[in-house]
Structure 1
Amino acid sequence: MRIIHRRRAALVVSAATVLLTTGTVAAPVHAAGPPTADLRADVDRDGSVDVTGATDTVGEDTWSTARGAVFLPNIDDDTKRCPTTGPRGRPLPDGRLASCNDAQDAIVNGADDAADLARLRTVPMPDLAANATGRIEVVSGVSRTRLHIKRAGKWSLVLPGQKLTAAELRDGVELGIEGRDIIRDRAVWDGRAVVRLSVTSDGRTTSDDVTLRLAPLLTHHHVQQTQQVLVTKVKGTDPGSRAQQKFVSDLAEHTKAANLPAPRTLDGGSYNDIWTQDFFEPGYTSMTGPGGQRQTLRIMIRSVQSSWRDAGREVFTKLRGPGTGAVQLAEAADGGGTLDSMGNLETIPPYTHNGQSFPAGRIIQGQFPATGEKPAKSLRTMLASQGMQSPLLLDTGWLHVGHVDEFVQFLPADTPRGWRMAVADPEAGLQLLKDAKAAGHGGKRLFSRPGGTHPVPKDTIDQTLASSRHAEDNALAARKIAESVEILKRETGVTDAEIVKVPALYSRASKWPGVSATDGSRLSRTGSPDAFMDIRGKAPAKSGAKARSSAAAPEPTSAWIPGAINGLLLNDNRYVAPKQWGPVIDGKDIFTTAVTSAYEKAGMKISYIDDYYPYHLGSGEVHCGTNTLRDASAAWWGR
């Protein structure tokens, strides 16, 4: 048997030399070769497989960001067959929860699941001999994929050694491929799969290979429209629970004003975790489906703090379903710390600069350079292995919680770039106090919020400005923010004119009763009045998970006035910020006025929500307590 790859030869030519009785040699006699195997995939990503023209042949053996067939990690649960509890309603182990999805069985789970298959087709071979046979197989990426064939309108798994009949090859065969997981480490598997069609006729075989790559798992950016807000809702009648419940109901009013559906609530009461931004990161993966429409799977990335952050189980028990999958990454040996919370993962919108292009945006995360602490290796490896969003690390060691969402955000803009960058500005915050003092208002309380069951510092403007510790805190914050801004300007090309500066104040001081901003005490989460506040920056003491190293910064800072930069972008021009509770002078909160002006100049209509208790007092704000699902219909390859 003679085997020919179409990559090397499109036609087999067999020459026979005939020896005549006269002893002379005749000219070679050429016999027609076998029909050529021709397998096609959606190389140009238009949603169809071209078997009559040549649009899907060029580059079928290679793959690039711009061109090449893609397939999806089919890890959603279209028929809701995955169990969420064990016998008698007992919780399932994390591993059992994470292991169930549509790609783990050998069947196509209905029409929705079939839509998650990337199509391949064999070019019809009408002149094929009756005794011809074919074979289709995955020759690279075998254990990472499943290949299905459509026969009589039904999908079935392609089994090893399974043959295609001559009749099927004459008509052309439709196939579908799915990935069984995301790309976790490109050193182990880079997402590539090679599918081979072999056709045998009259003892000779030709074959054709097509290379596909698993579509990358991407994180959302703020240029993508919000479709759904998520928030944790706790039960209980204690002051913290009631305040959190009020926050959830107020949030619904803001989403309604933005013409968004009511927020989807997750179960925080069972897990004592109100930090919806932190225990998972919404991601997505997509390809072009039939008719040119994007076929998108949402994939929720659970934080790697799985051994102690049980709220992450919600991605499997509440969010996984039709069109939505979830993944759990390997946890660090020490249990993971504050850098592993997903509030420490934000995404710069798409940009091109200095010859580098990021059509799906670029991830930023915080790190502690002083101690060498970084987000967990499993997460950093997975993000980098997608090959699209190249994570950029910034110094957040000066912050108590250490998350990038505490000082920087990205806003949609009607500009050639399509977005602006907003950063917290401690110098502007201090200047507001200095101006108020100069105008004779130094005796005003820094916080205008009433006291009661919610602790409120009693410092005046004069006391705050007189505190050398407070001055040092904000000088440190200003310097560190400026360093990160310079990195972001260098990496993205964003200019000063595209940067929105939002007044802010930071402090090392505790926010608990009887402690002023001038005594230098630190906020102790383990001493907070509500258990669900303990989990913000690190695990509760009982978990044994890694706490941040005190060597990173002896007394890291947190937002003192509620951090306006840590808000919720609802759509292109609506933004919800934490209520400022700053000094009220002549009937106006000077921080609210200044923050409103900054966002309005950036084209944003801003509104405020009271998150003081429990979010602000737990060293977080509106963004930390919410999450968003965003539109992912645009092509991630930049078209």
Structure 2
Amino acid sequence: MRTADPIQRASWGLEAGKPLFLPANHPSFNDREVQDPDLSVENVNLRVDWQTLRRLPLSGAVVFSFKALFTPMTRFKEEPCIPSLLLKILNEGKESIMKYKGSYHTEHVVKPTLESYERYQAEQGLVTQGWVPQTLDEYPFYPVPRALPGKRAETPDPKWDGPPYNPKDDGPSYNPNDDGPPHNPKDDGPPYNPKDDGPPYNPEHDGPRVESLAAPNQTTGSAPPTTGSFKVTILADSNRDGKVDTAGSTDLAGKETWTEESGALFLANIVDTDRRCSSQITGSCADNLADIFFLGTTLPEKPVLDPKLAENMPMIDFLWRDWFDGLSEGDKATYNEWEKKNNQYWEDYGKVRNVDNRISACHDSSDDILRNSTYLAPLRTTPNPELSDSAIGSITVADKTAASNVRLFHKTAGQWNFISSNYTFKAEALKAGLELGIDGRDVRRPGGWDGRARVEFKVQDGDKVAKDSVELRVAPVLTQHHGQPLKQLLTATGYAGADQQRFIKELGDLSGKAGLQTPVQVIETSNCNKNDEIWAQDFFEPGYMSIPGSDGPVSIHIMIRSAQDYRSAGRKVFQDLRSNTVGAVQHLAGGVTTDSTGNLETVPPYKHNGKSYPAGRAVMGSAGKRPFMMDFLDAQETQAPIDLDTSWLAVKHTDEFMQFLPVESERGWVMMVNDPLAGLEILQKAQKDGHGGEPAVSRPKSPTDGDNKWRVTNTIDQLLNVTDFASFQKSCAEKIEENVNIIKRETGITDAEIIRMPALFQVYQNEAWQYAGDDEPKPLTDEELQRIFGDIWPQTNGEQRRQATRRAGEQQEQQPAKDGSEKQGSVGWHDILEAGTPPQELKNYQPANETARTLEGRQEQGSGGPAISLYPATINSVVLGNRQILAPNPWGPKIEGQDVLAAGVDAAYQKANYTVLYMDDWFTHHKKVGDVHCGSNAIRELTGVEWW
């Protein structure tokens, strides 16, 4: 090997972190065969090992050099083609080679990420639509970035071309004492020869050179700082201490790179000051929007019918046919063409004016007027008094997508002025230093804007130009947790029957008893979702955004609409809940019941396995398909959603069996979980003690029960004798334990921090309870039996008569109550599962309130099927302040004057030092497969929100 012929090669692989080299027989090398579920893409790097062999000119010795370069996987989002190429290699690479690469331990994280980057690059125009991954043009070793495949970059861009040589960062320049003699043709081979080595650099064909624009000893970033003898500096709160340090250097380090640990933050200013937008939403269920929601949209042109035809065309259907038949063939053709265009017009009009798509379009930052400066994040430029009077400057946002999603303001004479893209600052302002503010027009979006914004500052003074930049990111939208004090309860009117009105009143009374100063907010939903939207927990989830401020965190409440585009009640968060301090967002999709936000809980803050979650973690259940809402939560990149298996439940919501409570302990919280075996043991003990003949339910008659069959007639013995009753409780307990183990693995929580509470389950649409009114139903006569069941049983016997009597009683339950209030099980009302099911799926869905079913028939079906709570689920409750729980009354069996189920619940909560307030929801919510938590919602105080 000649001195002039060094050998260089590169070997690549994917690494979790930045590990040192390990031989294949090292014990830690086995970690590559395991996929860590806690691994995040932020911790994955592309490792390139550059290896060179060089012969030294004097000694002739051969030197081997090795350097490992680690590139974060997240960098590839903005590098054209790279995600597609790497994904193709991972998916299609030769098995033996890929095994040698040892990338398996990262692929479960890397592949989905690369797929999302691939879609993003196509959507943003970073690659040509339809481009097929293939070997790229080499120039000379890699393609010139910022150009689509097959094209060259027009101008040098330091973001892609990298900074020039800097002795501070890159080490000393060539020194013959250390580095050996310069090129010597005698030893090193001939110099450049165009005949053998190819043509020299030609800017016409090869693209521009990248030349340094940096001043000596100036640390370079993505923007060349200077072309002269002066420099400029723009700063933000990059160290997240709540202020911008223009006098010192605390906000200088790392200001051009945003990471999870450092980098400036700003808010999406999507509140609605003075309800400017919300007040313009009207209609029966927020289904009418004023023109303010359609600014910037263009309506299609409405076609005009020939005036001669329009003048004589009747508006009454049966007259129109005769009129049309009497037209000439030419006029018929004219009319048909107009009708076709008119139908298209209304279709296009509907898309433009779609309420659900446009209802989030109006808020404080949807235009360029600053209505509330509280939510501006500060930016500052350092004073530059030595500038000449002719100096001019500009502030811009680098990326087109980011620029469309942020606003910049300049404060002069106490007033904030919007900075447009062509705004020019004069020398006087530049000399003094600029006071700036930034806010966002939107939040982080899955598959869209990730919230990053690079603000660039440029000053020109004569022929001298100086530049600087700072990187910021919009704060994530986070879900609240029970460690935050309760501020206000909310509920929904739904059909507004007498029993629902009683529920609302009792909720308000208990809210005051719990010490809440703000009264319960009642959301009007009587015209939403076929009048049955009483599930206030399910169509939105309260959240928040927060950034550091000079006097503590600056925060806003964010109401997150469920990802269920058919659920019209979700619009109410934009109409009823927004204010000067509250905003709302939506990530609409056709989500099913798992996208109901009753399925969204939050683990309080914790640390585990070297990772910290200062905002806690979101928890959602899935049943074979991941909820759409989890994509939105993932995009926030903060609360790392935990995926539970709720497929065993009919409604499939986490709040049916799990709850997190703040306590005074090292961890700061415990987990409550349902224990069906403990509930079963309570009933079995009562039976064993001779109380099997006691009623299984102790609920008394409510004033709103009216003539309904309100009384449950089952005894404890009858309930325990239901076929497979005990085995079904065991099956549910096993499913709960599987999910408990997931939480254990993800959080490190121990059995000592898990409190188990008695509960019982039954099969959905296979109810165990029998109902009666004030008097037992009379046996039906043969004539009545013949009239009701003649087509089923022409002849009846005693057993059939007994069953039919019960069937008739159940059938009578379907009739409207005399007082107009809703009857339990009445046809036409959706239960909580049906309310969270898309209409097109409901058409093929078996209704929950079937008629003519007997307990015996249900028993014969056994215990198979999805589970719902048998008694009102006390875990489906609201965590109040002052160590109180607001729960549905279980109305368990009363033994010697005590409700034995409620006693077990009280004892469980007492272990966490909580007391329970009970309220009745048997017919308002429990019979519809939900409970108090499902029928209410809670907004919590924005304290302890320093997630950064």
Match of 2:572 among 309, 314, 319: 314
Provide the residue aligned with 1:557 in structure 2.
Answer: 867
Provide the residue aligned with 2:916 in structure 1.
Answer: 606
Provide the residue aligned with 1:143 in structure 2.
Answer: 404
Q: Which has the larger strand fraction?
A: 1
Match of 2:527 among 267, 270, 281: 270
Q: Secondary structure at the match of 1:189?
A: coil
Q: Secondary structure at the match of 1:544?
A: helix
Q: Structure 2 CA distance, aligned partners of 1:155 and 1:365?
A: 42
Pair 1:194–1:98, CA change in 2 (3 A): same
Provide the residue aligned with 1:12 in structure 2.
Answer: 215
Q: Structure 1 CA distance, aligned partners of 2:731 and 2:909?
A: 24
Q: Percent identity at matched positions?
A: 39
Q: How does 1:205-244 map to 2 (within 5 A)?
A: 205-234=465-494, 236=496, 241-244=497-500
Q: Structure 2 CA distance, aligned partners of 1:204 and 1:495?
A: 64
Q: Is the 8 A contact 2:376 2:438 kept in 1?
A: yes
Quote the offset at 1:148 in angstroms.
1.6
Q: Structure 1 CA distance, aligned partners of 2:874 and 2:484?
A: 21
Q: Structure 2 CA distance, aligned partners of 1:532 and 1:69?
A: 53
Q: Is the 8 A contact 2:278 2:576 kept in 1?
A: no
Q: Is the 8 A contact 2:713 2:770 kept in 1?
A: no
Q: What code does the residue aligned with 1:180 have?
A: R
Provide the residue aligned with 1:389 in structure 2.
Answer: 639
Quote the offset at 1:388 in angstroms.
0.6
Quote the offset at 1:296 in angstroms.
1.1
Q: Structure 1 CA distance, aligned partners of 2:418 and 2:639?
A: 34
Q: How does 1:458-469 map to 2 (within 5 A)?
A: 458-469=713-724
Provide the residue aligned with 2:367 in structure 1.
Answer: 105
Provide the residue aligned with 2:728 in structure 1.
Answer: 473
Q: Structure 2 CA distance, aligned partners of 1:85 and 1:76?
A: 15
Quote the offset at 1:535 in angstroms.
4.7
Q: Secondary structure at the match of 1:501?
A: strand
Pair 1:85–1:364, CA change in 2 (3 A): same
Pair 1:561–1:582, CA change in 2 (3 A): same
Provide the residue aligned with 2:859 in structure 1.
Answer: none
Provide the residue aligned with 1:29 in structure 2.
Answer: none
Q: Is the 8 A contact 1:13 1:33 kept in 2?
A: no
Q: Structure 2 CA distance, aligned partners of 1:126 and 1:422?
A: 63
Quote the offset at 1:536 in angstroms.
1.1
Provide the residue aligned with 1:537 in structure 2.
Answer: 833
Q: Secondary structure at the match of 2:734?
A: helix
Structure 1 unmatched runs, 5+: 15-31
Q: Structure 2 CA distance, aligned partners of 1:57 and 1:151?
A: 25
Q: How does 1:166-315 map to 2 (within 5 A)?
A: 166-185=427-446, 187-234=447-494, 236=496, 241-260=497-516, 261-271=518-528, 272=531, 273-289=533-549, 291-307=550-566, 309-315=567-573
Q: Structure 1 CA distance, aligned partners of 2:835 and 2:769?
A: 20
Q: Structure 2 CA distance, aligned partners of 1:183 and 1:58?
A: 25
Q: Secondary structure at the match of 2:913?
A: coil
Q: Is the 8 A contact 1:3 1:205 kept in 2?
A: no
Q: Is the 8 A contact 1:455 1:513 kept in 2?
A: no
Number of residue pairs the alignment of both structures matches = 597
Q: Structure 1 CA distance, aligned partners of 2:652 and 2:882?
A: 28
Q: Is the 8 A contact 1:337 1:548 kept in 2?
A: no
Pair 1:546–1:392, CA change in 2 (3 A): farther
Provide the residue aligned with 1:324 in structure 2.
Answer: 582
Q: How does 1:84-99 map to 2 (within 5 A)?
A: 84-85=279-280, 91-92=288-289, 93-99=355-361
Provide the residue aligned with 2:937 in structure 1.
Answer: 627
Q: Is the 8 A contact 2:495 2:534 kept in 1?
A: no
What's the RMSD between the two structures over aligned residues? 3.0
Pair 1:454–1:614, CA change in 2 (3 A): farther
Quote the offset at 1:531 in angstroms.
7.4
Quote the offset at 1:69 in angstroms.
0.4
Provide the residue aligned with 2:767 in structure 1.
Answer: 510
Q: Structure 2 CA distance, aligned partners of 1:60 and 1:530?
A: 62
* Greater Rg by CA: 2
Q: Secondary structure at the match of 2:618?
A: strand
Q: Structure 2 CA distance, aligned partners of 1:202 and 1:193?
A: 29
Instruction: With a CA cutoff of 8 Å and minimum separation of 6, indicate the structure with the bigger relative contact order.
Output: 1
Q: Secondary structure at the match of 1:270?
A: coil
Q: Secondary structure at the match of 2:559?
A: strand
Pair 1:635–1:86, CA change in 2 (3 A): closer
Normalized against structure 1, the TM-score is what?
A: 0.87
Q: What code does the residue aligned with 2:288 have?
A: P
Quote the offset at 1:12 in angstroms.
2.7
Quote the offset at 1:270 in angstroms.
2.5
Q: Is the 8 A contact 2:618 2:642 kept in 1?
A: yes
Q: Structure 1 CA distance, aligned partners of 2:709 and 2:668?
A: 41
2:849 counterpart of 1:587 = no
The Cα offsets for residues 519-565 of structure 1, whole Å up to 9 and x where unpaired, read as 9x9x99x9964578505112489932468999xx9621111111111
Q: Which has the larger helix fraction?
A: 2
Q: Is the 8 A contact 2:228 2:465 kept in 1?
A: no
Q: Structure 2 CA distance, aligned partners of 1:95 and 1:593?
A: 49
Provide the residue aligned with 2:851 in structure 1.
Answer: none
Quote the offset at 1:567 in angstroms.
0.5
Match of 2:385 among 115, 126, 129: 126
Structure 2 unmatched runs, 5+: 1-155, 167-212, 218-226, 290-354, 702-706, 773-802, 815-821, 847-862
Q: Is the 8 A contact 1:282 1:301 kept in 2?
A: yes
Provide the residue aligned with 2:604 in structure 1.
Answer: 349
Q: Structure 1 CA distance, aligned partners of 2:481 and 2:670?
A: 12
Q: Secondary structure at the match of 2:733?
A: helix
Q: Is the 8 A contact 2:503 2:924 kept in 1?
A: no
Quote the offset at 1:514 in angstroms.
5.3
Pair 1:501–1:167, CA change in 2 (3 A): same
The Cα offsets for residues 110-130 of structure 1, whole Å up to 9 and x where unpaired, read as xxx211111101001112222
Q: Is the 8 A contact 1:84 1:97 kept in 2?
A: no
Q: Structure 1 CA distance, aligned partners of 2:659 and 2:422?
A: 54
Q: Is the 8 A contact 2:646 2:652 kept in 1?
A: yes
